[in-house]
Amino acid sequence: MTAVAIIAIAVKYITPVLKANIKQCLRLYSQTGGKIIMEETKWGRWPHLLFYVQDEKKINSGIMFRNLLAQSLAQYIVAEQADLLFAEMMKQSYFYFPQEEREHILILAQKNYLADPAKDIGGQVYAEILQQLQEYLEQHDYVNLHGLMLFRMQAWLKFVRRTLDRAVDDYLMEKEYQEFIKLLKYFVALQEPKLKQVHVLLNESGCFYFLDHTFQPVEQQQEIIWDGDHCSCEEEDQLVSLIISLAPHHIILHHHVYLKYPKAVDTLKHVFEQRVSICKGCKLCHNAKNKIFYKRKT
């Protein structure tokens, strides 16, 4: 019996993930009673996957197989094609970054991409890729997968582009933040410590108050009111500025402070390094929780 080719797929690369997905597709199809054989070959510059059916009567009965194949190809695209597109887009749009920085941005893009559920099975991006593949395979027996991605899957390309652009923005913000930290560290290094120690606490109304090493209020106090569970960047910056202006030799950040202001705490730890301690809970934390506050000496 002569085998007849029913579908041919051109791909840039035949990877282990692609082969594993196709084999799973063939196994699932065989469970329905059908049998299709896959062959790897090369036409022109690119490798091709050819799918054969031995029973000519079943040539037009492969709707289920084409749907299974579309699912396998969709999973392959979201698993492996994003990294290749990231690299191509970096060369085209962000070539001016030094090589080391480009590599760092690509790592950020990959991390953001993996964390985004839109590309997972059931997600919007995955659903759009699958739909494009299903519609194309219903009408065509030859598929250039790379061309299909570039010219038919515009939503997918925009998703990858947004992910890369966001990684660039994240990198630039992080770079700016590191420069800011260097500047603060330089400024702090030039200061002579004004206080031996400062305890930083937060009361129930959102007011920071500072106690010295004798547990008496520091003269410079200022309210920073936070609203709800999340504080603004402005409030974080105010806290950092206040503590730097106090110029303490040692800083103890108490319980509610690092819970409500994690970014400020992270900045202070980078600027003051070993001069910062984190309190996990003490009598001062307990007093703040129970609205018992220290008063100035008269």
C-alpha distance across the termini of the chain, in Å: 105
The per-residue pLDDT for 37 is 87
Measured CA to CA, the distance from residue 285 to residue 254 in angstroms comes to 6
Strands (E), the chain: 4-10, 36-43, 46-53, 142-144, 198-202, 208-211, 251-253, 276-278
Supply 110's token pair.
């990959």
The per-residue pLDDT for 297 is 40
The per-residue pLDDT for 88 is 93
The per-residue pLDDT for 58 is 52
The per-residue pLDDT for 194 is 87
The per-residue pLDDT for 77 is 95
Query: Considering Cα of 111, then 115, then 118, then 121, what sign does the dihedral take?
Result: positive
Residues of the chain with pLDDT under 70: 1-5, 54-61, 206, 220-233, 288-298
Supply 139's token pair.
């009408």
The per-residue pLDDT for 298 is 34
Supply 22's token pair.
């196709």
The identity of residue 22, as a single letter, is I
Mean pLDDT, the chain, whole residue set: 85
CA distance to 2, 101, 113, per residue, from 148 (Å): 31, 31, 21
The per-residue pLDDT for 5 is 59
111, 99 Cβ separation under 8 angstroms: no
Angular region, 17: left φ>0, alpha ψ -120 to 50, beta rest: alpha
Largest CA distance in the chain: 105
261-297 per-position pLDDT tens digit: 888 899 999 999 999 999 887 877 777 665 555 544 4
19 contact partners, CB below 8 Å, separation of at least 6: none
33 contact partners, CB below 8 Å, separation of at least 6: none
Rg of the chain over Cα atoms, rounded to whole angstroms, equals: 30
25-44 per-position pLDDT tens digit: 999 988 888 788 888 888 88
The per-residue pLDDT for 98 is 94
The per-residue pLDDT for 213 is 87
Measured CA to CA, the distance from residue 20 to residue 24 in angstroms comes to 6
33-40, long-range: CB within 8 Å, 24+ apart, which pairs? 34/58, 34/61, 34/62, 34/64, 34/65, 36/6, 36/62, 36/65, 37/3, 40/14
Measured CA to CA, the distance from residue 79 to residue 120 in angstroms comes to 9
